[in-house]
């Protein structure tokens, strides 16, 4: 999430009534959570598990709940509740969502009258947006995109901070970008990024009833069949095929040209150019051999017991 008017780290610290360590003149040009940080970004960290990752990340201003030495050139803003203050900053700097504005629509695009479109949406040329589609604010849609009935683009990320009193919703500041020549089936849901974009690459085709989580990056010319569930912050490289009912946990990477067969469940990142099957998924030939051996297990047990 870019700031329309960048601030110095000192200005942010004063606003939050927090202490600053390190380069107080460091310019904050954006706000991002840990999965998608860039130089100039402010990020928050409030758990020892992630201190090192945040301090070593590209982020140059870090909201943190522990006083440590600031890395060279960076600023630390010390606060008792970094997540609370991060949410506060996002809400203060994100443009308010509106649903009463006319979207920017390219030549030759057709939107059914029942389509709902939020503010700051851009739709390219030659698109077809079919009945009941909902396009949340800040979505960017390229040329020749087809979106089938009742799909929702840009809903809020499923991202919460666990508190003693319950779950606190993370303030969303990201969006969805759909590149040229993408087709998305009916009843799909593509969540916007927490603070950056969820992106569907050029030429990718998505079947019906597919869920794509926040901040996921899907490459070009991928094929995703019905009932696939993709969690947040996943990276799917170009030319990947996911067959029906595949499950992909958060923060995994699927390499270029990989194929994951139907009803498979990944538990770790996988290399490109190979075919995977099973739950937990492995290379399909090995998993088929395992299945064949499992079918023989009763016979093998009887032989070991001397009954075969």
Q: How far apart are CA 224 and CA 182, in angstroms?
A: 11
Q: Pairing state of beta strands 160-163 and 197-200?
A: unpaired
93, 209, 214, 227: which is the annotated catalytic residue? 214
**Residue 214 a catalytic site member:** yes
Residue where the block lists tokens 């522990």:
66
Catalytic residue ranges: 214
């Amino acid at each position: 999430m870019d700031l329309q008017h960048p601030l110095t780290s000192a200005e942010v610290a004063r606003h939050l009534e927090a202490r600053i360590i390190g380069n107080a003149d460091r310019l904050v040009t954006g706000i991002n959570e840990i999965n998608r940080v860039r130089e100039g970004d402010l990020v928050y960290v409030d758990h020892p598990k992630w201190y090192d990752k945040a301090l070593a990340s590209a982020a140059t201003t870090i909201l943190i709940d522990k006083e440590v030495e600031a890395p060279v050139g960076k600023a630390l803003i010390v606060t008792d509740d970094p997540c609370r203050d991060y949410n506060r900053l996002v809400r203060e700097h994100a443009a308010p969502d509106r649903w009463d504005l006319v979207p920017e629509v390219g030549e030759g695009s057709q939107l059914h009258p029942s389509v709902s479109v939020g503010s700051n949406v851009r739709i390219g040329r030659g698109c077809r947006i079919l009945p009941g589609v909902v396009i949340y604010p800040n979505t960017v849609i390229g040329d020749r995109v087809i979106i089938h009935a009742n799909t929702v683009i840009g809903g809020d990320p499923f991202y919460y901070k666990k508190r003693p009193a319950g779950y606190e919703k993370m303030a969303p500041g990201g969006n969805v970008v759909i590149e040229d020549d993408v087709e998305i089936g009916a009843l799909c849901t593509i969540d916007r990024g927490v603070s950056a974009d969820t992106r569907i690459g050029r030429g990718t085709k998505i079947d019906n009833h597919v869920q794509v989580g926040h901040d996921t990056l899907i490459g070009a010319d991928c094929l995703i069949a019905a009932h696939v569930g993709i969690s947040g912050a996943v990276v799917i490289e170009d030319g990947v095929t996911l067959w029906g009912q595949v499950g992909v946990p958060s923060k995994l990477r699927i390499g270029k040209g990989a194929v994951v067969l139907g009803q498979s469940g990944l538990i770790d990142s996988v290399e490109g150019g190979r075919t995977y099957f099973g739950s937990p998924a492995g290379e399909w030939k090995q998993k088929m051999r395992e299945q064949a051996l499992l079918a023989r297990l009763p016979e093998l047990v009887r032989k070991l017991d001397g009954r075969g």
